[in-house]
Structure 1
Amino acid sequence: MGKLVQNFYRLLMGLSCVAMLAAFGAVILGVLAREAKWDIPGLDAYAGYAIAAALFLALPGTLKHGDHIRVTLLLDRVSPKVRGILEWWSLGAGLALAAYVAWYAIRLVWVSYSTHDVSPAADASPLWIPQLAMALGCIGFALSFVHALALRWRGSSFIAISSDAAHIE
């Protein structure tokens, strides 16, 4: 099961990279189009969709690699028992928040699909298509917290702690 979840994180990270490249391509195309006096309607909207997709799809992978901001100012100054309790609470609260956001992201996709909602920008794209990447990333993020809690229960660590993390004193 762990291998399947790891592959899902890798898939989402790969899709995030593709979305980032799409955003880069849309921005470059926009610059070239302006220089050539071309009008490509909705190009800014597509760049925005791609950037949002890159952000949401990368959430589980960046949590796994320890790239999310963790405030350890308090954790470094408490006893190991209190630290364990705070880490359990943090993972539980993270799961609750991620599940809440995932639920509403899925609901947003469904409402946009069922009401045939389209973008108000010049592209007039169906909104459920870019919202799908957001929902998928939120589902992966919630799953990553479930995975983190399961590994914590077994005594392992989910989040990689970098040795070159910035420490501010």
Structure 2
Amino acid sequence: MRRLLDGLYRLSGGIAAALILGICLLISAQIVLNITARVMGPGWSWTIPSYADFSGYMLANASFLALAHTLREGGHIRVSLVTSRLPARVALVAEVFCLALAIGLAGFAGYFLVGLMGESLKYGDTSTGIVAIPLWIPQSGVTLGAGILVLALLDTLVGTLRTGAPVLPEGGEA
């Protein structure tokens, strides 16, 4: 089960990285087109349709899909300045409390994201850009990312309770 969950977190992080790369490539292509139009004249002016919309959707999906991987790798900001000064038992209680609170908040967000995606499907909502994208498509990646985050938080809480100590690695400065 551990390998399956870690694989899911890595896959989610990998998809997020690919989406960030996609943003870079898309924006770079539009910049090259803009430079070409400036150098060659207005007759060479082209625009990638809805490139800003696509970039925004990829950014939202990358942000949410990266959350679980970042959590499990210890990349999220944690207030270890406070918890490192607490007695071990109190620090463990604080860790469990924070994980439970995070599960509640992420679950709350996930619940409403599922509802938002359902409404977009029901009403056939589409983007307003040049290319009309059904909104449930970009919303599904965000919703999936929130769901994987809840799973990662539950996994972390269970691991913390099982070992009696925090299981997340401490993020350090690079």
Q: If the length of structure 2 is used for normalisation, what is the TM-score?
A: 0.88
Tell me how far apart the structure 2 counterparts of residues 18 and 114 of structure 1 sit (CA, whole Å).
Answer: 30
| 1:43/1:123 contact within 8 Å kept | no
- Unpaired segments of 5 or more residues in structure 2? 37-44
For residue 65 of structure 1, the aligned residue among 59, 73, 90 is 73
Following superposition, the deviation at residue 161 of structure 1 comes to 1.5
Of residues 92, 101, 108, the one that matches 2:109 is 101
Task: Give the match for residue 19 of structure 2.
Answer: 19
Checking the alignment, whether the CA contact within 8 Å between 1:64 and 1:159 is kept in structure 2 is: yes
Distance 1:39 1:85 in 2: 55
RMSD over equivalenced CA pairs, Å: 1.4
Give yes or no for contact 1:13–1:57 (8 Å, CA) kept in 2. yes
Does 138-147 or 151-160 show the bigger shift? 151-160
**Counting helix residues as a fraction of each chain, which structure ranks higher?**
2
Corresponding position of 2:41: none
Structure 2 distance, partners of 1:31, 1:101, is: 35
Once residues 11 and 114 of structure 2 are traced to their aligned partners in structure 1, the CA distance between those partners, rounded to angstroms, is 19
The corresponding residue for 1:141 is 149
Aligned residue among 36, 55, 60 for 2:63: 55
Corresponding residue to 1:158 among 138, 147, 167: 167
- Whole-angstrom CA distance in 2 between matches of 1:75 and 1:158: 14
Name 2:35's counterpart in structure 1: 35
**C-alpha offsets along residues 109-159 of structure 1, whole Å, 9 cap, x if unaligned?**
111111110012222211111111101110010000100011012106431
Which stretches in structure 1 are left out of the alignment for 5+ residues?
Answer: none
State the one-letter code of the partner of 2:60: A
Contact 2:92 2:166 in 1 (8 A): no
Paired position in structure 2 for 1:8: 8
Return structure 1 stretches of 4+ with deviation > 2 angstroms: none
Identity %: 29
* Structure-2 residue corresponding to 1:92: 100
Alpha-carbon deviations, 1:31-79, whole Å to 9, x = none? 1222231022201111111111111110000000110010122212222
From the CA coordinates, give the structure whose radius of gyration is larger.
2
Tell me the TM-score normalized by structure 1: 0.91
- 8 Å Cα contact 2:34-2:46 kept in structure 1: yes
Q: How many residues align?
A: 164
1:60 & 1:51 partners in 2: Cα distance?
16
